[in-house]
Amino acid sequence: MEGQSGKTMQSLPDTLSSLKGFNKYLTPSWIESVSHILKELTPTKPQKVMEEEAQNVFECDDTELDIKVAKIQDEMVSLGAQLKQKTLQKRESLNNYLDLKGSIRVFCRMRPFNHEESYSSRTMFTLDESNVFLKVAETKTKQYKFDKVFDPCSTQGDVFSEVEPVIKSAIDGYNVCIFAYGQTGSGKTYTMVRCTSSTTFPPSFRKQK
Ligand SMILES: Nc1ncnc2c1ncn2[C@@H]1O[C@H](COP(=O)(O)OP(=O)(O)OP(=O)(O)O)[C@@H](O)[C@H]1O
């Protein structure tokens, strides 16, 4: 502190001489022009009137803002109601669709024969989308009927598109169950888990949000 005041004392002569120099600008014309500027800057209206006007502007803006907010809130309520209605319609049509299809459905997927099976005397084949034929002897076949049969050329995407509505129904909160049943090596894991393309079962399932 002492050092600082010492410095100020030391620079005092310089400050005085600079003030003396400044004094020469304080001519009557300089004073006149400065007072003219000050007059220009002084508000012509009384302070109170200006404050009231400012307050009015403020209040007006608030009211407009309130109106806009209320309008947006109304729109949001109406959109929410529309969304609810659409969701209900969607659920209803989905469940109608599932009812029409049947609440319990059994699909059969035939996987391609492997090397050993190709040489086997027993062969399976399909004639249409619902029937599987199993050749049990040279002249004897057995026929099995399903809600849908996926032939050996079917893809993961084909299977997925058939169960997709059921998955959507599960996402809508309904209880559903999809399970794979079959003897070992028949292709359960492949069908339920295998990821071979963008339409495979698990990733597509995850996309249904
Ligand atoms: N649709 C298909 N296309 C091509 N290969 C398939 C198909 N389905 C199954 N496979 C092949 O057949 C073999 C057996 O399939 P997978 O392991 O899925 O049978 P699984 O029923 O799960 O057997 P496990 O009950 O012993 O676990 C695998 O090598 C698999 O890659």
Q: What is the pLDDT of residue 200?
A: 47
CB 111 near ligand 1, within 6 Å: yes
Query: Pairing between strand 107-109 and 123-126?
Result: unpaired
Separation of alpha carbons 30 and 144, rounded Å: 112
Residue 17 lies in a domain: no
Q: Using one digit for the tens of pLDDT, what is the confidence trace for 119-177? A: 665 677 777 889 998 888 888 888 999 999 999 899 999 999 999 888 888 887 888 89
Residue 178 lies in a domain: yes
In this prediction, residue 209 has a pLDDT band, given cuts at 50, 70 and 90, of very low
Residue 26 lies in a domain: no
Separation of alpha carbons 151 and 149, rounded Å: 6
Q: What is the pLDDT of residue 72?
A: 92
| pLDDT above 80 (res 4) | no
Residue 70 lies in a domain: no
Best residue for ligand 1 mutational test, from 183, 189, 194 (most atoms within 8 Å of Cβ): 189
Residue 63 lies in a domain: no
Q: What is the pLDDT of residue 172?
A: 79
Residue 11 lies in a domain: no
CB 185 near ligand 1, within 6 Å: yes
Q: What is the pLDDT of residue 179?
A: 92
Contact 131, 147 (CB under 8 A): no
Span from the CA of 203 to the centroid of ligand 1 (angstroms): 19
Higher-pLDDT residue of 28, 171: 171
Structural domain range at position 113: 107-207
Separation of alpha carbons 192 and 113, rounded Å: 19
In this prediction, residue 181 has a pLDDT band, given cuts at 50, 70 and 90, of very high
Q: Using one digit for the tens of pLDDT, what is the confidence trace for 97-129? A: 877 888 899 999 998 888 777 766 567 777 788
Separation of alpha carbons 178 and 200, rounded Å: 15
Contact 126, 132 (CB under 8 A): yes
**Number of independent structural domains in the chain:** 1
Residue 145 lies in a domain: yes
The residue-averaged pLDDT of 188-207 equals: 66
Count other C-beta atoms under 10 Å from residue 160's C-beta.
Answer: 19
Contact 135, 112 (CB under 8 A): no
Q: What is the pLDDT of residue 32?
A: 74
Separation of alpha carbons 34 and 26, rounded Å: 10
Q: Using one digit for the tens of pLDDT, what is the confidence trace for 42-80? A: 656 667 777 777 666 666 667 888 888 899 999 999 999
Best residue for ligand 1 mutational test, from 110, 111, 113, 149 (most atoms within 8 Å of Cβ): 111
Span from the CA of 184 to the centroid of ligand 1 (angstroms): 8
Residue 179 lies in a domain: yes
Binding-site residue numbers are 182-189
The residue-averaged pLDDT of 86-98 equals: 83
11: which 2 tokens? 């620079």
CB 183 near ligand 1, within 6 Å: no
| pLDDT above 60 (res 82) | yes
CB 6 near ligand 1, within 6 Å: no
Q: What is the pLDDT of residue 180?
A: 94
CATH assignment of the domain containing 164: 3.40.850.10
Q: What is the pLDDT of residue 204?
A: 53
Q: What is the pLDDT of residue 147?
A: 93
Contact 160, 200 (CB under 8 A): yes
Task: Give the atom of ligand 1 at the shortest distance from the alpha carbon of 194.
Answer: 18
Q: What is the pLDDT of residue 167?
A: 87
